[in-house]
A and B are shown apart, each in its own frame.
Chain A
């Protein structure tokens, strides 16, 4: 953020004055203007939450950051976001399976989508959030560095990935927003048989 050594005191003073002026002005506000302001705010709030009527034209996604890249997942597939505390690794699982966690008495597996997508390891990760994805058939956690929050995105604004996009394979990608958030295809991810770990036993392999 701001480097303390370059703080401009003049700037600070100017801002303080502005705040002061604003406060004095606010005190003398008439009930009518107050009402108008509140109404304006209410309208603005109403506009930003296009939930019901715009649900078809919009997609609610939860944005998350992984190795300084921004991803999004449709929020209806997210059961919850859980702070990562203890992760128990399991021997004999592929590298993308990071381990299992205790989610209030229930065991949930956690995966690293970067490893699953074979993306190059770059940047420093600070994995401390688990996004638990689920549908009727499948449930697992995806590890993330940070989860800035949920947002509505107009479906129109979601574009197919450009040819030059070097991120994950297209098949797992729902699209890319103007802010270059890569929206993952949750349906595809949740139903991907490649994600399911089902080790054969020596018995089912059999020998004749």
Chain B
């Protein structure tokens, strides 16, 4: 798995604090200078403090510290007024500014990262004056989500790092619990060993009597026989004693084992609950997305949410962010039509997107529904054929319900137009991959012109899942049980080769059969003399493949662990788990496996992407704020790009001339040379003219956007609507 978002945010926050401290002390000395300076000298100082306030605002925005951002905004506004000479620098104003700075300092005091990031007050509740922020009790921010309810439980602020470490340690105890279960089984096995001994002994015992008598009667009887008989008697008593001692030990062991199991489960449950957050913590983001996108596209859309008080594992919520953004975008872009169109169809002009969160036993179902156009299945079919996911013949054979699942496959898009939001057919594939990685499933329902509903069924907590331990190519692997449709034993002659591909027939359906060893690129076991083979049927996104394995060992509870920092992502492997004996077993990634299976098979029809030139993937990030720089760098690096950074336009331009870059991501407002000028210079330089430039900026106005286009930027991302997937999609498209 890539670097944990939480960890990254924490590191980012540390970087931000350092940067913020610098800005604040510069602001403070600037204000003091301003007081003493002559009116002529003031201009330069105002310019400096204005810049500082602005930079701090931008940095605060990257780490979602809204209160800091708005405090800076206010100061920036005052400085701008001073700059334009619209307001006078009165002593009262200076006092006010100093007071604001104190507030800022207070806001920047290290609080724990979780509350700073995740429980930021909703954007709507922007405090009217900076002073009111200071009055706000800082502790009230620590109460996650439910802070608004009238009853306030006593709370303690704990850093997420510490919480995660506790959860990790508790998860470790699961291994101890499982090991104890295994030991208990081994102990029960000893009973049968004793039983067998008793039986054998009972058979031989009568034979001893005559021997004993003979030896007693005959005084000259062999001493050896006598000794042997004595020993046998002692031996019997000794074994009996051993059995009794063992039985006496077994009881307390069994008791302790039960207690351990109960306590571990209880502890883990409670800890998981502690690490949970309500679904509503994701909503701010989605509401903003709906508002911004619908405005941009001239659509009227209402977002209706229910069940958002349901609490889920924080790690799952983090991972859900991207899929939800994709689904909502998808609904806005492809689902809900424009008001005029809707009216023609006798629908209210205002469209609705509803997000419903439901608890289903130990799982949670999230539905994202729109009352839009639904899905054109014929178009899905032809899109899938066009991008090579499936042949026309196979596509026509699929039922409508099966065909609609094709939209979860990579590259299948029904949108004729490639907009900046969607249309490349990757969004839904990403949704599926994320959901499956979390151990969930995704499906959809739709009715033409009545709307589409996406369903995601997810576990409430991450950490443990049921897995099947299996053997392939003499190695052990774990496969998550929820992806396994069934385990079959098939006779050799039932395997048919169709189009150079081995297949099985199950309940009248033909399913491709792939050796797991082949899919993993491992050497297959040599001797294949068995009459029957074992195969696991795996289903994902409407696709079913039977994987041939050597052996299925057992099913058990499994704790997923990451592969360590060096192995960020390994094909086909989502992590590893530790079995009772302490041995490490890789856990298979089903989504990857399905793709690998298609590639391993000679008749694979999946599109093989062209290998890219390495240099084309190096990206230059230019930004004067170290916080924004590390944020951008991290996002791009976690997604496999090589990144170099520059601190301003001139630095960037120098680096571009000496290096070999595939793309430039640049901030607009930078000292020395800004992003517009940088773009202009790039376009003017013959060697660099072709490099795509993405401008990331706090400037939202239409003029600025147009100016960006005028100077030759390829994309323009506004910071306020910035999110990771947005940037990545743009980068993917351009590079």
Interface on A for B, CB 8 Å cutoff? 86, 88-93, 97, 100-102, 105-109, 111, 137-140, 193, 195-208
Contacts and interface: CB of A to CB of B under 8 A. Distances in A.
Given A90-B573, A92-B571, A92-B572, A107 B584 contact: yes
Nearest to B433: A203
A196 B568 contact: yes
B732 A90 contact: no
B642 interface: yes
A116 to B, nearest CB: 11
Interface in B355-391: 387-388
B570 A140 contact: no
7 contacts: A91-B520, A93-B570, A102-B578, A193-B642, A200-B569, A202-B609, A203-B433
A88 B430 contact: no
B520 A107 contact: no
B426 A206 contact: yes
A199 B571 contact: yes
Interface residues of B, number: 48
A91 B639 contact: no
Contact of B578 (A89, A105, A204, A206): A105
A107 B564 contact: yes
A88 B572 contact: no
B408 to A, nearest CB: 11
Top 8 closest A-B pairs, CB basis? A92-B571, A91-B520, A140-B566, A198-B568, A88-B584, A207-B411, A199-B571, A205-B609
A105 B429 CA distance: 33
B172 interface: yes
Interface string B548-573: 00000000000001111111111111
B284 interface: no
A207 B410 contact: yes
Contacts of A198: 2, 568-569, 640
Q: Which residue, B411, B520, B562, B585, has most C-beta atoms of chain A within 10 A?
A: B411
Contact of A91 (B387, B521, B642): B521
Nearest to A92: B571
B566 A195 contact: yes
Contacts of B642: 193
B592 A101 contact: no
Nearest to A208: B424
A205 B609 CA distance: 7
Given A97-B567, A100-B563, A203 B410 contact: yes
A88 B583 contact: yes
B357 to A, nearest CB: 26
B572 A107 contact: no
A204 B732 contact: yes
Contact of B410 (A88, A90, A206): A206
B640 A200 contact: yes
A107 B576 contact: yes
Given A195-B566, A203-B410, A206-B426, A92 B576 contact: no
A91 B564 contact: no
A105 B172 CA distance: 7
B140 interface: no
Given A200-B640, A202-B410, A102 B609 contact: no
B621 to A, nearest CB: 15
A100 B562 CA distance: 11
Nearest to A134: B565
Contacts of B522: 91
A109 B584 contact: no
Contact of B585 (A88, A106, A195): A88
A195 B564 CA distance: 12
A204 B567 CA distance: 18
A89 B566 contact: no
Contacts of B388: 207
B475 interface: yes
Nearest to A135: B565
Contacts of B582: 86, 102
Contacts of A140: 564-566
B462 to A, nearest CB: 16
Contacts of B411: 206-208
Nearest to B389: A207
Given A100-B576, A208-B733, 18 more contacts: A90-B586, A100-B584, A105-B175, A106-B561, A107-B561, A111-B566, A138-B566, A139-B566, A196-B566, A198-B2, A198-B640, A202-B606, A202-B609, A203-B426, A203-B430, A206-B411, A207-B388, A208-B411
A87 B520 CA distance: 18
A33 B561 CA distance: 61
B584 A102 contact: yes
A138 B565 CA distance: 6
B319 to A, nearest CB: 15
Given A102-B584, A207-B411, A208-B424, A201 B567 contact: no
A198 B641 CA distance: 10
Nearest to B596: A92
A90 B588 CA distance: 11
Contact of A109 (B520, B563, B575): B563
Interface string B600-625: 00000011010000000000000000
A195 B565 CA distance: 10
Contact of B567 (A89, A102, A105, A197): A197
Interface string B59-88: 000000000000000000000000000000
Given A90-B586, A201-B433, A207-B410, A137 B565 contact: yes
A102 B564 contact: no
B392 interface: no
Contacts of A137: 565
A203 to B, nearest CB: 5
A206 B520 CA distance: 21
Nearest to B611: A205
Nearest to B579: A102
Nearest to B573: A90
Contacts of A204: 639-640, 732
A3 B599 CA distance: 59
Contacts of B572: 91-92
A93 B567 contact: yes
Contacts of A90: 563, 567, 570, 573, 586
Contacts of A107: 561-564, 575-576, 578, 584
B10 to A, nearest CB: 12
A36 B591 CA distance: 74
A197 B172 contact: no
A137 B634 CA distance: 12
B447 interface: no
Nearest to A199: B571
A207 B607 contact: yes
A92 B566 contact: no
A75 to B, nearest CB: 20
A109 B723 CA distance: 32
B424 A206 contact: yes
Nearest to A103: B564
B226 to A, nearest CB: 49
Contact of A92 (B172, B521, B561, B591): B521
Contacts of A193: 642
Nearest to B591: A201
Contacts of A92: 520-521, 570-573
A196 B575 CA distance: 15
A106 B561 CA distance: 8
Given A89-B475, A92-B520, A203 B583 contact: no
B387 A207 contact: yes
B99 interface: no
A199 B573 CA distance: 10
Contacts of A195: 566
A194 to B, nearest CB: 10
A74 B2 CA distance: 28
B595 interface: yes
